[in-house]
Structure 1
Amino acid sequence: MTPNYTLSGRYRIIRSLGEGGMANVYLAHDLILDRDVAVKLLRLDLRDDPKTIKRFQREALATTELVHPHIVSLYDVGEENGMQYLVMEYVKGMDLKNYIKEHFPLPLQQVIDIMEQILSAVATAHAHNIIHRDLKPQNILIDEQGNAKITDFGIAVALSEHTMTQTNTILGSVHYLSPEQARGSMATKQSDIYSLGIILYEMLTGSVPFKGETAVSIALKHFQNEIPSVRDYDAKIPQALENVVLQSTAKDPRDRYATVADMANDLLTTLSDTRVGEKRFEPDDLGNDETKIMPSADIAAAIAANRRADAAKSQAKAHPEKTTESTDTATDEAPLPKRSWSKRHPVRRRLIIFGSIAVLLIVAIVIGLELSRPQMTKVPKLTGMTQTTATKVLAKRHLSVGTIKHAKSNAVAKNQIIKSTPGSQQKVQERSRINLTISNGAKQTSFGNYVNESYGDVRATLKAEGFKVKQRFSTSAVAAGQIISQDVVAGSSVLPTNTTVTFTVSAGSRYVGLKDLTGESRGDILNYATANRININFKQGYSDDQKAGYSYDQTPEGGASVRAGSTVTVLMSKGSQPASANLAESFNVKVKVPYKALTTATATANDVKVYYQDDEHLIGTLYREMAITQDTEVTMPFQLTGSQTGQYRIVRNGVTIAQKTKVTNKDASN
């Protein structure tokens, strides 16, 4: 692919970024959205290989399922002249391998911060039942701000799919390969955890733990040799941090962390003073059923001994007279008197007696162990409970509360449980202690600048963080679906669970043939509006022909042609007109909106949105929007019939600052 070539009339190639075994990667410029992107193009010599094409398509499928700030985003998938390509987010920076080389040694806190980002991304993949299978520093990009982003899901496999097998081939990079993958077994989530442990080892020491002249020799070391101690390399590394490396790289997957989230939670506290003096991690003793790995010298000796034994047997079969002769020389030639079987075979008799006793002892031991074995139970689901409630629930399962940790959470309310360790539905022995992580409430975060980004991607990311996200459309020359503006100031500090952000999204420049919306419910109307990129202004009124909750009129009328991004007013029925005794009462409610100074130099005005509900207005429809530079009073003209109540909500820079759910004439301003 040569520079200035325009792929599909949209992506102009700038230069090559690198070449791989399956695809070549180029820096390109998206001519429509005016941004740099990375284009991964399947190599020409592989474009007719169905297996390679399937793997390439699997990467696209796996990446589209994953929306996470630390996973490289997939923007587009296409084909031109038989060439398969992916268009992905361009991360300006370098891969983690080169980052370690240039910045080693890394501060321990930075190591933990980068690993926490990586673990968070892998946890999202695992939540979608996607195993990366090839986690290594070369597949982790570090941008200019030091943020990590995982890429290359080319050999990622969903758990529901059949395992890929290749004779004499190990998928993934051997330096980061788990022992079970080296043996040819199926990769699991614990396999990714092993690779993450090796990455953490390399970030702490600057090199991989095992080296060799061939891939086979390195793979053998992964399941034969113990991981070298990172504290032998640097004694300043806390034992707690080394323990994360040791547990994540345990030979047996059962000794590793149950989930990536468990590894992340353990990692985040490794520099805490409470873990000073922690003992070195040792995997549990799995008993006699543990598979033992023989050293290569022992294997060779065993093979030689077996060959000598086979040769002796073959010689005995070929010359049976020699065996008979040697046996006869040890006996007297004179005939012996007949004796009972037990007297003639005293050794066999003793063997039978001792064997029977041994069998009885083994049976007795097995029965005793079975009777003394502790009873097992499942950990109940504790998420969302208070500590007091969780203690009672655990007691019913003969379990108790162990260590308590606290953490900020945008998804779980303050003083409620975020997670338990072991997790829900895991089997544990009765009388075990269950560790809890309890929410300290939401944490403030700096709101980003999402202008010119895809609304769909931004919405998914922000909702996962706890934000409430809304959109309104506007006619624009830029591509449909691209964010034009946002009402929360970029860089402002907000609480996600208390913040509603409204994005103005490009509706393109097309026209829409408006359908007749009368008789439709509010939900159906909003779905139609979103699909056709138009805005809806809901109002309320009485209708004898339409039941409450359904539309009875609209402006413009059905059949009209409107431009995408325009606003359609829809009247929603409140039912039949009430009796004359219940005449509507009108009054004004005034609320003072305080001005908040902004930290950004480019923005000074506060964006204020007013929502209220009475006989004619709905709380979900914007009543008024204004920009204020000082404390400002807002007036809302209410009209309420009979005993009905109203409500209002005032939003400043995306954050609700005033709200009342039951407004009556008693709230009227003088």
Structure 2
Amino acid sequence: MIGKILGNRYEIIEKIGGGGMALVYKAKCKLLNRYVAVKILRPEFTSDEEFIRSFKKESQAAASLSHPNIVNIYDVGNDDDIYYLVMEYVKGKTLKQIIKEKGPLQLEETINIGKQIALALQHAHNNHIVHRDIKPHNIMITDDGRVKVTDFGIAKAVTSSTVTNTGNVIGSVHYFSPEQARGGYIDEKSDLYSLGIVLYEMATGKVPFEGESPISIALKHIHEDIKLPSEINKNIPKALEDIILKATQKDQTKRYNSTKDICEDLEQALKQPSGSFVKIEDDDDSPTQVIPAIKDEDIKLKNSTYERKNSQKSNRTIMWSAIITAFILALIFTGGLFYLKKLFIVPEKEVPSLIGIELEEAKTNLENLGFGVEVAAEKNSDQYKKGYIIDQEPAAGKICKEGYTIKLTVSKGPKLVEVPTFINKNINEIEYLLENAGLKEGIVKYENHTLPIGVIISQSPQARKKVPKGSEVNFVVSQGPRIRFILMPSLVGQDINSAKRTIETSGLKLGNVEYRFDENVQKDIVISQSIKAGTEVEENKAINLVVSKGPEEVSQPSEEEELQMKSVSFPLFYDQAKQEEFVLKIVKIQNGISTDVYSAIHHKSKSGKEKITIKGRDKATIEIYFDNELITTKQIDFETGKIYD
């Protein structure tokens, strides 16, 4: 599978994991030039058409989820009967690996991870998606401590199709809810049970139930109570233990109603680790008591005694009753009626709107109306500043008696997150870092710099600073070095040394220097330059020069050399001549030296062709000109007499 390209886009690089359903590979997306994780279904699942349809449907539904604590799904496809799911590549470890390495986690770490899992589930549940397979293996912890939950929607595809066909329960039985083990109705509370088991394992380092087979473990989930976490780890505080016990109730109705409720209790557990604020429903409202049987003799004896005592007291009772009645009537007629009315009839008032008001102002308003005040909770809020009211109970407009206590929820201000380091990273590759940190891209400015184009020079706020979640980070990005343009000087006519100095002092570079013979230009004088004088040119541009070697010294060959030369005849075709009369010139080029070996006036012959003979040694290039217009070029080997085009 390594090296295979799926969908003409995803190149498989290496295997990074696997489970009962699929194998997971790291891959490179050739279209977007980024790393992704590709989950490839095992062959036993791909033969079930109903499962494949459900798998596609549920994966596409899960792809609609967008949350910082959920692994994004990018694509679903198949290639040559290979069904695959393309997901966000998360660099980090699974929660299972971390528990194996560390053992029981600290309270703060357990609660922090638990809250992030719950927030991911809350987003999924709000979108009517139940995970069904929450376990540490499906929870990634990034290098910067962020939780990423994966495999949303896939467990449902398995449950609705493959389980029916095989009769087996597929998944992680150590984290199953009792209703999953029974094959009963599964809802959001089933995910909360699995979350409770994950919290149990983080707090103790162990799962609550072990067995020789998956069936035996499933039966324990149905029938047996979990062992108290504090019996395994004595350092577990009461609040966390109560949260775990409530989440793992066998009866779905006795668990948390929503992920929001468990999040609130987890937050409270950090403030009150030993608190008793978690409410777990008992099976009975009151304990059963043993009442002893009553005998007939006891009843008769008590009746006779009662009648005797009653007859002795009846006269006294009548007398005192009359006195008390007269006293009460006297009080009523002397003003007691108004006192009693004031004592027993409490005025009622309307509860004012307090949301968005500062706490001290809200207290003053309530106390002036005769209400009591209680700060019930403090929560982060992106909408309200620290110290302002974000919720109240009862709501504004309700009618309550004086003295009633109004419960207030006060803002702790926006949740603060740490700004990562973006300097020296490419501006096009920071989206992932921003999303993980809960931040947004702000103003991006570009400046000239020695760093490559696109690399971040500076950021604001600075790295490691705590800022409200959702804050913008502004960047200054390199657009490469500043380019300075220079007006090209004229170098033609200067000697080569002067030209070099002019090039250097102008901020340019000397390129190639070619030397040529020239009868009209003195030796070492610049004949031409690669860029025309007066043209704007970039700083440090290389300038090529052609420099004169002076007139070519052509010496007459000696008699001995003349004897050693050989003659070669080659045909000329006059149909290329434009005039009836024209100048025929032949130039021999040998060892880089050009020599005119023939020049004469010719007339077009009737046959249209003629042979010309020239002398020479070794190999040479022959150029033939009609009226100074190059007609053809030949390669001649004087030793063999052969002519080549």
Taking structure 1 as the reference length, what is the TM-score of the superposition? 0.49
Assess if the C-alpha contact under 8 Å between 1:468 and 1:497 holds in 2. Answer: no
C-alpha distance in 2 between matches for 1:385 and 1:286? 43
Q: Does residue 1:491 correspond to 2:463, yes or no?
A: yes
- Is the partner of 1:190 in helix, strand or coil? helix
Deviations for 1:604-642, whole angstroms, at most 9, x for unmatched residues?
xxxxxxxxxxxxxxxxxxxxxxxxxxxxxxxxxxxxxxx
User: CA 1:219–1:423 in structure 2 vs 1: closer, same or farther (change >3 Å)?
Assistant: farther
C-alpha distance in 2 between matches for 1:434 and 1:212? 51
Task: State the partner residue of 1:623.
Answer: none
Task: State the partner residue of 1:406.
Answer: 378
- Is the partner of 2:378 in helix, strand or coil? strand
User: CA 1:382–1:81 in structure 2 vs 1: closer, same or farther (change >3 Å)?
Assistant: farther
Q: Does residue 1:193 correspond to 2:192, yes or no?
A: yes
C-alpha distance in 2 between matches for 1:460 and 1:10? 25
Task: State the partner residue of 1:184.
Answer: 183
User: Displacement of 1:34 after TM fit?
Assistant: 3.7
Deviations for 1:536-570, whole angstroms, at most 9, x for unmatched residues?
xxxxxxxxxxxxxxxxxxxxxxxxxxxxxxxxxxx
What is the identity, as a one-letter code, of the residue corresponding to 1:16?
K
Assess if the C-alpha contact under 8 Å between 1:131 and 1:188 holds in 2. Answer: yes
User: CA 1:447–1:220 in structure 2 vs 1: closer, same or farther (change >3 Å)?
Assistant: same
What is the identity, as a one-letter code, of the residue corresponding to 1:442?
P
Assess if the C-alpha contact under 8 Å between 1:141 and 1:151 holds in 2. Answer: yes
Deviations for 1:295-345, whole angstroms, at most 9, x for unmatched residues?
xxxxxxxxxxxxxxxxxxxxxxxxxxxxxxxxxxxxxxxxxxxxxxxxxxx
Q: Mapping of 1:192-271 within 5 angstroms?
A: 192-271=191-270
Deviations for 1:159-198, whole angstroms, at most 9, x for unmatched residues?
xx99997384435422111122223222111111111010
C-alpha distance in 2 between matches for 1:382 and 1:223? 47
Gaps of at least 5 residues in structure 2 are 287-351, 397-402, 447-453, 478-645
User: CA 1:72–1:153 in structure 2 vs 1: closer, same or farther (change >3 Å)?
Assistant: same
C-alpha distance in 2 between matches for 1:47 and 1:483? 45
Task: State the partner residue of 2:281.
Answer: 283
Task: State the partner residue of 1:112.
Answer: 111
Q: Does residue 1:31 correspond to 2:3, yes or no?
A: no
Q: Mapping of 1:372-383 within 5 angstroms?
A: none
C-alpha distance in 1 between matches for 2:354 and 2:198? 32
What is the identity, as a one-letter code, of the residue corresponding to 1:221?
K
Task: State the partner residue of 2:411.
Answer: 439
User: CA 1:189–1:242 in structure 2 vs 1: closer, same or farther (change >3 Å)?
Assistant: same
- Is the partner of 2:154 in helix, strand or coil? coil
C-alpha distance in 2 between matches for 1:171 and 1:390? 55
C-alpha distance in 1 between matches for 2:195 and 2:42? 29
Assess if the C-alpha contact under 8 Å between 1:471 and 1:502 holds in 2. Answer: yes
Q: Mapping of 1:346-495 within 5 angstroms?
A: 404-416=376-388, 418=390, 437-448=409-420, 449=422, 488=460, 491=463, 493=465, 495=467
Q: Which has the higher mean CA deviation after the structures are superposed, 226-235 or 30-39?
A: 30-39
- Is the partner of 2:36 in helix, strand or coil? strand
Structure 1 vs Structure 2 CA RMSD: 4.7
Taking structure 2 as the reference length, what is the TM-score of the superposition? 0.51
User: Displacement of 1:133 after TM fit?
Assistant: 0.7
Q: Mapping of 1:583-598 within 5 angstroms?
A: none
User: Displacement of 1:55 after TM fit?
Assistant: 3.6
C-alpha distance in 2 between matches for 1:214 and 1:434? 54
C-alpha distance in 2 between matches for 1:245 and 1:65? 30
User: CA 1:240–1:76 in structure 2 vs 1: closer, same or farther (change >3 Å)?
Assistant: same
C-alpha distance in 1 between matches for 2:77 and 2:354? 45
User: Displacement of 1:31 after TM fit?
Assistant: 3.4
User: CA 1:199–1:235 in structure 2 vs 1: closer, same or farther (change >3 Å)?
Assistant: same
Q: Mapping of 1:135-174 within 5 angstroms?
A: 135-155=134-154, 166=164, 168-174=167-173
- Is the partner of 1:170 in helix, strand or coil? coil
Q: Mapping of 1:51-70 within 5 angstroms?
A: 51-70=50-69
Gaps of at least 5 residues in structure 1 are 289-379, 425-430, 474-481, 506-670
User: CA 1:498–1:111 in structure 2 vs 1: closer, same or farther (change >3 Å)?
Assistant: closer
Q: Identity over the aligned pairs, expressed in percent?
A: 40
User: CA 1:51–1:68 in structure 2 vs 1: closer, same or farther (change >3 Å)?
Assistant: same
User: CA 1:234–1:19 in structure 2 vs 1: closer, same or farther (change >3 Å)?
Assistant: closer
User: Displacement of 1:107 after TM fit?
Assistant: 2.0
Task: State the partner residue of 2:497.
Answer: none
C-alpha distance in 1 between matches for 2:395 and 2:8? 50
User: CA 1:403–1:504 in structure 2 vs 1: closer, same or farther (change >3 Å)?
Assistant: same
Assess if the C-alpha contact under 8 Å between 2:50 and 2:161 holds in 1. Answer: no
What is the identity, as a one-letter code, of the residue corresponding to 2:242?
N
- Is the partner of 1:203 in helix, strand or coil? helix
C-alpha distance in 2 between matches for 1:503 and 1:59? 39
User: CA 1:451–1:404 in structure 2 vs 1: closer, same or farther (change >3 Å)?
Assistant: farther
C-alpha distance in 2 between matches for 1:34 and 1:73? 17
User: Displacement of 1:72 after TM fit?
Assistant: 1.4
What is the identity, as a one-letter code, of the residue corresponding to 1:150?
V
User: Displacement of 1:113 after TM fit?
Assistant: 1.9
C-alpha distance in 1 between matches for 2:282 and 2:132? 26
Task: State the partner residue of 2:102.
Answer: 103
Assess if the C-alpha contact under 8 Å between 2:414 and 2:468 holds in 1. Answer: yes
User: CA 1:435–1:239 in structure 2 vs 1: closer, same or farther (change >3 Å)?
Assistant: farther
User: CA 1:250–1:47 in structure 2 vs 1: closer, same or farther (change >3 Å)?
Assistant: closer
What is the identity, as a one-letter code, of the residue corresponding to 2:276?
E
User: Displacement of 1:410 after TM fit?
Assistant: 2.2
Task: State the partner residue of 1:11.
Answer: 10
Assess if the C-alpha contact under 8 Å between 2:28 and 2:34 holds in 1. Answer: yes
User: CA 1:242–1:61 in structure 2 vs 1: closer, same or farther (change >3 Å)?
Assistant: same
User: CA 1:143–1:182 in structure 2 vs 1: closer, same or farther (change >3 Å)?
Assistant: same
Q: Mapping of 1:269-308 within 5 angstroms?
A: 269-272=268-271, 274-276=272-274, 278=276, 282-285=280-283
- Is the partner of 2:23 in helix, strand or coil? strand
User: Displacement of 1:457 after TM fit?
Assistant: 7.9
C-alpha distance in 2 between matches for 1:383 and 1:58? 43
C-alpha distance in 1 between matches for 2:41 and 2:89? 17
Q: How many residues align?
A: 393
User: CA 1:36–1:438 in structure 2 vs 1: closer, same or farther (change >3 Å)?
Assistant: same
User: Displacement of 1:468 after TM fit?
Assistant: 8.3
Assess if the C-alpha contact under 8 Å between 2:129 and 2:153 holds in 1. Answer: no
C-alpha distance in 1 between matches for 2:196 and 2:376? 25
Assess if the C-alpha contact under 8 Å between 1:33 and 1:452 holds in 2. Answer: no
User: CA 1:99–1:492 in structure 2 vs 1: closer, same or farther (change >3 Å)?
Assistant: closer
- Is the partner of 2:189 in helix, strand or coil? helix
User: CA 1:164–1:483 in structure 2 vs 1: closer, same or farther (change >3 Å)?
Assistant: farther
